Amino acid sequence: MRSNKLKVLLAGAVVAAASAVALIALPASAETAAFTVTNSWSTGYEASVVVKNDTSSTISTWRVELTLPAGTSVVNAWNATQASAGSTYTFTPAGWNATLGAGASTEFGLIVNGTGRPTTCLVNGKACGGGGTPTSPVPSPTRTITPTPTPTTTPTSAPAGRTPVAINGQLHVCGVNLCNQYNRAIQLRGMSTHGLQWFANCYNAASMDALANDWQADLLRIAMYVQEGGYETNPAGFTSRVNTLVDLAEARGMYALIDFHTLTPGDPNYNLDRAKTFFAAVSARNAAKKNVIYEIANEPNGVSWAGIKSYAEQVIPVIRANDPDAVVIVGTRGWSSLGVSDGSSSAEVIANPVRATNIMYTFHFYAASHKDNYRAELERAAASLPMFATEFGTVSATGGGAVDTASSAAWLDLLDRLKISYANWTFSDAGEGSAALKPGTCASGTYAGTGVLTESGALLRSRIRTPDSFPTS
């Protein structure tokens, strides 16, 4: 996206109490940590830990130690740096969330293999509930585990066999279309995250439930910025966060589009080594999954098609070495406009395509800025190239301004007619017109329904919720 992104400080933490199945209630007046199971399944569960500074002074760092019973282990964590020694797992700040002012809090999450709950919880060497004696997070007069049933009206995941991934399985490119396991052309419709470094509290079990069940989305695009405080600052941490979001999407039957979100500098070759490292890691880890799609360069700009093609032909083999079947999406010239924003066209791509199979090409647009000539170019390109609108907005190219309802409808009608899959920018509560959620939504922890939506969000939710009608024969 071509705009200055709003940098947001985590002023609080989200705990989805309505969907929690185990909560450790904690007294105030000390540094505390609350462990909540936010989602569970037969072989494991997802949990969040809220660290709160209940003292009257600022603390410069924190450390949470969880001891798990035999047969239970932490397989992934986000918003924290994880280490382990035997059955004890230690979590320290991701960097940006180390300092907590008086009364402030932060949250990190984890995926656990096994059903055992922590037997001991320490924060900065003291009991998670406050005081100086390390204690076990089990029922007691001051620290209780309170079961909260999951509401039947908001299931954690869609019924088995009826989700987009269950129906369509492993995707592939056939001709100019994205096709499912039955070799039939399909269209995926979904939403893109904002930058994970700024809006981490928007992406958790509750928000993914809303996207999968209330929005009935097929796709989550995971926008992992490389610069602007993103991947280059903490490769391991951001890779872990991406993998966790892949898992959250998979558990709900949604496809996950892993976006290597390069924007400035615009030449993807600047990040070639980082791209190889990142895609080697995520493709190895997710190779067996059917829900993963790779977007290797978000919006190339200030670079020739030859330069973009060279980058793609070096990164794609890294993915293919681990995951030979997944669809890979290649960015195009002029902020992924097929060159239109650079005064060029799709002709250069058609004449000199990337030398690889099972790939698609990216097209981005913002409805209030990009109109008939952009739509005409996409339609011309789609006759020869497999296209995927991995990012678009209902507003101007800055990400702000008013929703252009007429142009947005024209674009969505075109994408539907051509069966071009799309992800809208953004499923976030950013203070800009393109955001789907009203400011403050992510801090509130309530994501479903129309009351939390902006004008853009209401428009997209109504379109995405219409039946997919995926062909199966």
Q: What are phi and psi of 425, to 5 degrees?
A: -95, 120
What's residue 289's pLDDT?
97
Q: Is 391 a catalytic residue?
A: yes
What's residue 11's pLDDT?
29
Tokens 């017109």, residue located: 433
- CA-CA-CA-CA torsion for 6, 196, 163, 187, nearest 10 degrees? 60
Q: Residue range 27-48: average pLDDT? A: 71
Query: Distance (Å, rounded) from C-alpha 389 to C-alpha 331?
Result: 10
State which fold the 21-127 domain adopts: Immunoglobulin-like (2.60.40)
Q: Residue range 47-74: average pLDDT? A: 89
Tokens 């391991």, residue located: 236
Which residues share a beta bridge with 113? 44, 73
What's residue 41's pLDDT?
64
What's residue 43's pLDDT?
73
What's residue 457's pLDDT?
98
Nearest to 223 by CA among 163, 281, 263: 263
- CA-CA-CA-CA torsion for 12, 14, 17, 19, nearest 10 degrees? 180
State which fold the 164-464 domain adopts: TIM Barrel (3.20.20)
State which amino acid sits at residue 60.
S
Confidence band (pLDDT; 50, 70, 90) for 336? very high
Query: Distance (Å, rounded) from C-alpha 85 to C-alpha 275?
Result: 31
The residue length of the chain stands at 473
Q: Are strands 44-53 and 105-113 parallel, antiparallel or unpaired?
A: antiparallel
What's residue 140's pLDDT?
28
Q: Is 299 a catalytic residue?
A: yes
Instruction: Read off the pLDDT of residues 342-352 as tens digits, 9 standing for 90 and up.
Output: 999 999 999 99
Question: What whole-number percentage of the chain has pLDDT above 90?
Answer: 70
Query: Distance (Å, rounded) from C-alpha 267 to C-alpha 289?
Result: 30
What's residue 39's pLDDT?
66
Q: Which two tokens stand for residue 297?
A: 């360069």
Report whether pLDDT(110) > 90. Answer: no
Q: Which of 65, 107, 295, 299 is catalytic?
A: 299
In this predicted structure, which of 26-30, 102-106, 300-304, 427-431 has the lowest mean pLDDT? 26-30
Instruction: Read off the pLDDT of residues 123-132 as tens digits, 9 standing for 90 and up.
Output: 988 888 754 3
Report whether pLDDT(20) > 50. Answer: no
Half-sphere exposure of residue 54, counting CA atoms within 13 Å on the CB side? 17
Instruction: Read off the pLDDT of residues 137-172 as tens digits, 9 standing for 90 and up.
Output: 333 222 222 232 333 333 344 444 589 999 999 999
The answer to whether the beta carbons of residues 283 and 322 sit under 8 Å apart is yes
Q: Residue range 56-85: average pLDDT? A: 86
End-to-end alpha-carbon separation of the chain, Å?
38
Q: Residue range 411-428: average pLDDT? A: 98
The answer to whether the beta carbons of residues 49 and 99 sit under 8 Å apart is no
Nearest to 105 by CA among 20, 37, 10, 28: 10
**Dmax (CA) of the chain:** 73
Q: Which two tokens stand for residue 189?
A: 């419709």
CA 330 to chain centre: 19
List the domain boundaries for the chain. 21-127, 164-464
Query: Distance (Å, rounded) from C-alpha 349 to C-alpha 300?
Result: 14
Query: Distance (Å, rounded) from C-alpha 179 to C-alpha 194?
Result: 27
Report pTM. 0.70
What's residue 252's pLDDT?
96
Q: Which of 250, 295, 348, 391 is catalytic?
A: 391
Higher pLDDT, 250 or 27: 250
Angle among Cα 207, 245, 262 to the nearest 5 degrees reads 110
Q: Which two tokens stand for residue 256?
A: 């996950």
What's residue 5's pLDDT?
35
Q: Residue range 304-312: average pLDDT? A: 98
What's residue 132's pLDDT?
39
Report whether pLDDT(381) > 70. Answer: yes
Question: What whole-number percentage of the chain has pLDDT above 70?
Answer: 85
Report whether pLDDT(251) > 90. Answer: yes
What's residue 220's pLDDT?
98
Q: What kind and span of H or E run contains 238?
A: helix 235-251
What's residue 57's pLDDT?
87
